Structure 1
Amino acid sequence: MGGIELRRSGSGTARIVAPVFHRILDRIDAGLTAGAIDAILPDGTRRLLGGRGEGPLAIIRIVRWRAILRLVSGGSVGWYEGWAAGDWTSPDPVPIFDLFMRNRRTLGDVARAKLVARIGVRGWHWLRRNHRGGAKRNVAAHYDLGNDFYAEWLDPTLTYSSAMFDDDEPLETAQRRKLAAIVQRIGVKPGDTLLEIGCGWGSFAEAAAKAGAKVHAITLSAEQERFVTARCAQLPVTVAITDYRDITGRYDAVASVEMVEAVGQDYWRAYLQSIARVLKPGGRAAIQLITIADDVFPAYARNVDFIQRYVFPGGMLISESRFRAIAEAEGFVWTDARVFGLDYAETLLRWRARFDAAVKERRLPARFDLRFVALWRYYLMYCEGGFRGGGIDVLQVTLTR
């Protein structure tokens, strides 16, 4: 980049560099075995990449060749930065993210950050690792954006995790089905004691308490702690700002809904050991977790992706096989796994529609500028495409001892 605009097709620079970028497009073309990209290039010409197998059609305009440079050098981080800079546009980016994930094996490393880019972001990511102080700081960076922010686009239950849909039904109905499924997994009976690790805004604590459980909910978010305390004031629910490594007592059941993604691979064992320590003999733990395919996990773990860099510092998706192996080594039996990734894609689509409505109606808090709003919209589309492409999934599982 270094001061070169790489924009005008008629310039000498453009004529020199264009063949280089066409060779990169050749690699992308060869790697698209499913779906296609209809690309408008900086000189106004069009090129179809892929188109040899079933899959979505993505439409994209490459405004500057710099977009391709950012992609091949910086991976998902560079691709976002190119979008934010206006280097590429699309009427609907979701199919692009879907295609990158759907064709992850055949595309290889063409869209992954290279060594120089990785060094800088890996150093930054290491500084955001999830030791006790780091975990609280990382959670605050995401969840303490404000209850007034999340309330404007989550459903009325304020549930920030995947719903379970039955046909075309309201998001709130699908969220309540998901909550009921977790209550059923742990077999709550009146008077049972239940620990919830990572309570969000209290929708599950509320549902479990109404089913008869005495709930102790923990979070590292001050905003969430305040909200759940008020929400569940008339229910047998206590809530505390507590690190999962510091929980004490014994419980009949444990639930944790999409919290383990905030733990990090280095701390998976400590997380599972904490559950084992407090769960009574014969008790059950129900976990809902977001996974990333084993075939891409090693490359993912070596890199820092767009979400880790710009949305959720310290976050990390789960390798099911690796996480399950640790759980079984800690004495758990992994049972009744249910996978429902396309439900998450639909959840994200519904969230984006609600988010867009809140933006249009100017209901988001005034402290968030246009750049922040655009970042979060991109985040919702990026995640949706990942689930539709099949490399990212969500599952519920019951752990018994």
Structure 2
Amino acid sequence: MTQVEPRPAARHRPGGHRAAHVDADRWPDVAAVPRASWPVRAVTQAVLERALRRLPLRMRFPDGTTLGLGGPLVEVRNPEAFHARIGTRGLIGFGESYMAGEWDAPDLVGALTVLAAHAADLIPPRLQRLRGLWAQRQPLTQRNTPDGSRSNISRHYDLSNDLFALFLDETLTYSSAVFRGFPADWSLLAAAQHRKIDRLLDLAGVGEGARLLEIGTGWGELALRAAARGAYVTSLTLSREQRDLALDRVRAAGHADRVSIELCDYREARGTYDAIVSVEMIEAVGAEFWPVYFRTLDERLAPGGRAALQAITMPHERMLASRDTHTWIQKYIFPGGLVPSTQAIEQTVHEHTGLDMAARDGFGAHYAETLRLWRERFTDRADEVAALGFDETFRRLWTFYLAYSEAGFRSGYLDVQHYLFTKERSAR
């Protein structure tokens, strides 16, 4: 199987020096430290020092200087590069500096949790008001048009089925589980994923003979459990790698007569269904296309039908502040992605569909536990990740991604919701 590693969309001019151990062809923006003038570095250092005076965090530099009120430790190994990256690229530079090994943390999740909990006030208000001048904008090439969505999805989900299999449980479910209690144990993850799937199928009323549309196949576990209930499933995906493996799993389970998996954009869906389920798909849609996505649910749902969604959410004011900004997670993990707020979801549904919101339930702590288990598994199997052809920079990238996401849920900056939307029956 050919392995594909993500490449940044554009190559930047080399800076003052290079991270010699980083492959410059695969990771040009990590290998090259951007040029930053002394004033930029000085302002960046001053902003960091100001923030650290109020944070329960310790940041230690090579000369022994330590800043912060105490708490999780951040070891800065290369202050010049660290300040240059943050000063020129903001949070993208912060993540790239970690990828380059210019800083590290014994408790990475703990350090990132402190930063996530204070995300709204890390930057002084006067600089926040000038965000449009210094923050990078989302590239037009990552718009979630039908063609753009195919490219964006492929860059993450077509990396390698073997890679995902190394840190996911045997259900190959890549979304939050629902546990019975904490702390969770790896041996319980598969059952917790089934509990989540069954909860969604119950919300949507999926049973014998139901016609179910699934938007976002993953590797097929939800479709398999729906088929086992006697439902007829049409599942849509844009990932060729996922579709191939999901089809193999459907055939192996003997459900080929009940499950159809189509390489198809949600905007191309046809027909009507008794139920729709979509798990963590809304985050890949983009704000521009949220009305289209929810109108598709409305149009594809038969009168009296039910749609169950699992959606990651963030605070509305933070979503508004960052929705046009290009982030590290968009550059390296989910191009074109945007986490909505509950307010944005509910307002879009109200303004653009005839659906009624019947239920909403948040369970962010369960996602933090799910991510912890994935991160620990990924770390434990680092040698096997390397054997698949993924280099050290990729492994640091994914370690940071999993820790960064876990920290978002542990801090409360992120949440995850189960939504139920219903459609009125036609008047007789």
Verify the 8 A CA contact 1:152 1:364 in the aligned structure 2. no
Name the aligned partner's letter for residue 102 of structure 1.
Answer: A
Counterparts in 2 of 1:2-401, with a 5 A limit? 3=16, 23-32=46-55, 36-47=56-67, 49-50=68-69, 57-66=71-80, 67-108=82-123, 115=132, 118-119=135-136, 121-122=137-138, 125-167=139-181, 168-169=184-185, 170-233=188-251, 234-235=254-255, 236-329=258-351, 330-360=353-383, 362=384, 365-401=387-423
C-alpha distance in 2, partners of 1:95/1:242? Answer: 40
Which SS does the other structure have where 2:275 is aligned?
strand
Instruction: Name the SS for the 2:317 alignment partner.
Output: coil
- Cα shift at 1:246: 0.7
Q: Give 1:4 deviation, angstroms.
A: 8.2
CA contact (8 A) 2:203 2:308 kept: yes
Q: CA deviation at 1:136?
A: 0.5
d(CA) in 1 for partners of 2:268 and 2:401? 32
Relative to 1, partners in 2 of residues 1:378 and 1:4: Cα closer, same or farther, differing over 3 Å? closer
For the residues of structure 2 that align with 1:281 and 1:103, how far apart are their CA atoms? 45
Partner Cα separation in structure 1 for residue 382 and residue 329 of structure 2 = 21
Contact 1:192 1:213 in 2 (8 A): yes
Shift of 1:2: 5.5
Describe the superposition over 1:68-106 as per-residue Cα deviations: whole angstroms up to 9, x where unpaired. Answer: 343354232110111122322211221222112211233
Determine the C-alpha separation between the residues in 2 that align with 1:280 and 1:77.
Answer: 44
| CA RMSD, 1 decimal | 2.4
Is the contact made by 2:92 and 2:327 (CA closer than 8 Å) also made in structure 1?
A: yes
Alpha-carbon shift at residue 328 of structure 1 (Å): 1.7
Matched to 1:382, the amino acid is Y
Which is worse superposed, 289-298 or 15-24?
15-24
Partners of 2:218 and 2:124 lie apart in 1 by: 36
Equivalent pairs counted in the alignment come to 379
Correspondence for 2:5? none
Partners of 2:244 and 2:51 in 1: CA distance: 49
Q: Which amino acid aligns with 2:202?
A: Q
8 Å contact kept, 2:294–2:349: yes
CA distance in 2, matches of 1:88, 1:165: 34
Name the CA distance, whole Å, in 2 between partners of 1:372 and 1:70.
18
Give the whole-Å Cα distance in 2 for the aligned partners of 1:16 and 1:269.
44
Give yes or no for contact 2:163–2:388 (8 Å, CA) kept in 1.
no
Deviation, 1:118, is 3.2
The amino acid of 1:262's aligned partner reads A
User: Which one-letter code corresponds to 1:62 in the other structure?
Assistant: V
Given the superposition, is the C-alpha separation of residues 179 and 4 from structure 1 closer, same or farther in structure 2, using an over 3 Å criterion? closer
Separation of aligned partners in 1, 2:142 and 2:45: 37
Residues in 1 aligned to 2:374 and 2:281: alpha-carbon distance in whole angstroms: 19
Please say which of residues 329-338 and 99-108 is displaced more in the overlay. 99-108
Deviation of the 1:364 alpha carbon: 5.5
Change (3 A) 1:367 1:3: closer
Q: What's 1:9 paired with?
A: none
How many percent of aligned residue pairs carry the same amino acid? 36
Determine the structure 2 residue equivalent to 1:8. none
Shift in alpha-carbon separation, 1:95–1:129, aligned structure 2, 3 A: same
In 2, the alpha carbon distance for the partners of 1:18 and 1:292 equals 31
Cα shift at 1:18: 9.1
Counterpart code for 2:61: L
| 8 Å CA contact 2:212, 2:277 repeated in 1 | yes
5+ residue gaps, structure 2, are 1-13, 19-37, 424-428
CA contact (8 A) 1:179 1:204 kept: yes
- Work out the CA distance in 2 between the residues paired with 1:46 and 1:371: 27
TM-score by length of 2: 0.83
TM-score (norm 1): 0.88
User: Which stretches in structure 1 are left out of the alignment for 5+ residues?
Assistant: 6-14, 52-56
User: Contact 1:73–1:114 at 8 Å: present in 2 too?
Assistant: no
| Paired amino acid for 1:340 | F
